[in-house]
Each structure stands twice: as structure tokens, then as C-alpha cells.
Amino acid sequence: MASCDTSQSEVSYITMSQRSSDSLAVERWEVQARKGVLELVVLAALWSGRLYGLELIRRLEGDAQLTVPEGTLYPLLNRMRAEGQVDAEWVEAEAGHPRKYYRLTPEGRRRVVQMARFWRGFAASIDAVLQPVLAERRK
């Protein structure tokens, strides 16, 4: 009885640890994929005009259902400004507190166009490769 219990719990332990290491690997992969598109997403959001940080976050959440953590976004915007992809300017808001607006520089515009073109082709290729995988699952 006792030995039966042990072997059962061992089996469930093995499947559990197997599953968690699988999901951990997927999670790690997801983090890499998310990081990879962060710059593209932020530059693309600035395409049609200047935005300030919170506005950018709300825009991405509202229009695209994408979340960008603030602790990542603000240093990223600062780095993009230092690299010349975006410009920043302070504007006094009617609410009383100033806002720091970001806009694309010509260099930033060129960069996001290149990135968007690459992404289109890349996503189409990945889709083609994924089709059999997803078709199999539907059956």
C-alpha cells in the first residue's frame, strides 16, 4: 500500500516536473520574443504623431491589446532619444503638470519602415511553417 503510494506520487512528480520544465522553456522563449518586438512596437505607435509616455502605454493597450511595463518603457524611450530615433519635448498641459512628448526623427521613421517590412515577410514565413502544426491540433 505504502509502496504503491510512493510510486504513484513519483509518477505524478515526474509528469509535473516535466510539464513545468516545458512551460518554463516556453515562457523563456516567449520573453525573448516579446523583447524582440518591443522596439518595433514603440516606434510604430509613434508613427502618426507625438505621444507622451502614459499616452503611448494607453494607446498600445487600447488599440492593440499590448502591454508594455512602464519600468521598461521609460528607459527605452530615453535610450531611443540618445540614439536619435526619437525626439523629446516638454509641453505644459492644461491639467497643470508638464508632459514629455516623444516624436519620431527622420532616422526613427526610416528604421521603423525597415523593421515593419522585415516583420511582414518574417511573420508570413513563420505562418507558412506553422500551418501544419496548427492544422494537426485541430483534428
Partner 1 sequence: MNSAPAAEHEIESYLTRLRTSLRGLPAEQVEDIVREIRSHLRESAGTDRERLTEALARLGDPATLGSAYRMDDLALRAQSSRSPLLLLRLVMHWATRSLEGLGALVVAFLGYGTALIALGCALFKPFMPDRVGLWVQRVPPDDWSFQLGRVATAPADAREVLGWYIVPLGLLVGAIALTATSRYLLAKVRKFRSARSASGVGVRDDW
Q: Tell me which residues touch partner 1 (CB under 8 A).
A: 31-38, 41, 52-54, 60-61, 65-72, 74-76, 78-79, 82-83, 90, 95, 97-100
> Minimum Å distance from CB 42 to partner 1?
9
Amino acid at 49: G
> Minimum Å distance from CB 75 to partner 1?
4
Our CB check for partner 1 shows the closer of 5 and 69 to be 69
Our CB check for partner 1 shows the closer of 69 and 132 to be 69
> Minimum Å distance from CB 5 to partner 1?
36
Residue pair 112/44 in contact by the 8 Å Cβ criterion = yes
Measured between alpha carbons, how far is 29 from 35 in angstroms, rounded to an integer? Answer: 10
Measured between alpha carbons, how far is 96 from 54 in angstroms, rounded to an integer? Answer: 16
Our CB check for partner 1 shows the closer of 41 and 109 to be 41
Going by C-alpha positions, the residue among 48, 40, 42 that lies closest to residue 119 is 40
What does R_g of the chain's alpha carbons equal in angstroms?
A: 22
Our CB check for partner 1 shows the closer of 10 and 27 to be 27
Going by C-alpha positions, the residue among 49, 76, 71, 44 that lies closest to residue 60 is 44
SS3 53: helix
Measured between alpha carbons, how far is 103 from 51 in angstroms, rounded to an integer? Answer: 7
> Minimum Å distance from CB 6 to partner 1?
36
Our CB check for partner 1 shows the closer of 14 and 26 to be 26
> Minimum Å distance from CB 62 to partner 1?
9
